Homo-oligomer: A and B are copies of this chain.
Amino acid sequence: MGEPEHLRSTYNDIHNIIRGTSNKIASEFKPDMFIAIGGGGFFPARVLRTFLKDPSTKKNIPIQAIGLSLYESLPGTTVEQLNGEVVRTQWLGPDPGKRLLGRRALIIDEVDDTRKTLQYALNELQKDVEAELQLLPESERDSKRTKFAVFVVHNKLKPKLGKLPPNIPYFAGAEVEDVWLDYPWEVIDIEEHDRLAKEDEERKNITVDEH
């Protein structure tokens, strides 16, 4: 039996994937700010906040949202099909650079598909930081430069069109083949979705047993 074309995740699956990665993020990166890429990053960001607290204050980690037009207004098109500039529909603010300076910011999305969205988001955020750093004396810049990392629920194992610099910590809740991911918040009938997810799981277990 070949790989299933669809991978269906239940809400509890996603919750537990995030839970399972949270200790690693806490110990290896210690974020004090989340930047959720909307709309897919909203749910993962909110759930991850339950498992992590600000390392200094022990308070909730603030979530800022950013929006990119391909997510917001062009359903059915991918980054590649757009083949043009990605448009910001929402950004940090007010004062994006000021908000970022000196922080440890975790950029969050639900899936790393081609990596182009993540590359775009990181580049643009870094531009805001650099512009703000220019307003400081040179001696203070290094200590104030924002540290970024990336968290995605699923990373698709496929050739990536976008690149992330090797010094950016990268956390994926789960690595998956290049399948179609069906997220629970995208379905109408959640009971039917859960039933199909359970069937898929049972089928996969049978396939594994046969080997």
Check B46–A45 contact: CB distance below 8 A: no
CB within 8 A of A190: which of B15, B62, B64?
Answer: B15
**Provided the pairs A12-B11, A46-B42, A185-B47 are in contact, do residues A75 and B93 lie with their beta carbons within 8 angstroms?**
no
Check B50–A38 contact: CB distance below 8 A: no
**List of B residues within 8 angstroms of A40 by Cβ:** 46
Tell me the bound Cα distance from A71 to B71 in angstroms: 25
Tell me the bound Cα distance from A15 to B192 in angstroms: 13
A interface, size bucket = 35 or more
A58-79 to B contact mask, C-beta < 8 Å, 1/0: 0110111101000111110000
Tell me the bound Cα distance from A72 to B12 in angstroms: 24
Query: What are 8 A-B contacts with C-beta separation under 8 Å?
Result: A15-B184, A38-B63, A42-B45, A50-B186, A50-B187, A62-B89, A91-B93, A93-B93
Min distance, Cβ A69 to any Cβ of chain B, angstroms: 9
**List of B residues within 8 angstroms of A72 by Cβ:** 60, 62-63
A43 CB within 8 Å of chain B: yes
**Known contacts A11-B184, A15-B190, then 11 further A-B pairs from the complex at CB < 8 Å, ordered by chain A residue:** A10-B11, A15-B184, A19-B188, A42-B63, A43-B46, A50-B188, A60-B75, A62-B89, A64-B65, A64-B67, A90-B92
Check B74–A59 contact: CB distance below 8 A: yes
**A170-211 interface with B by 8 A CB criterion:** 184-188, 190-191, 194
**List of B residues within 8 angstroms of A57 by Cβ:** 73
**List of B residues within 8 angstroms of A46 by Cβ:** 38-40, 42-43, 185
**A1-60 interface with B by 8 A CB criterion:** 10-12, 15-16, 19, 36, 38-40, 42-43, 45-47, 49-51, 57, 59-60
Min distance, Cβ A83 to any Cβ of chain B, angstroms: 19
A166 CB within 8 Å of chain B: no
A159 CB within 8 Å of chain B: no
Kindly report which residue of chain B lies nearest to residue A189, judged by CB atoms: B19
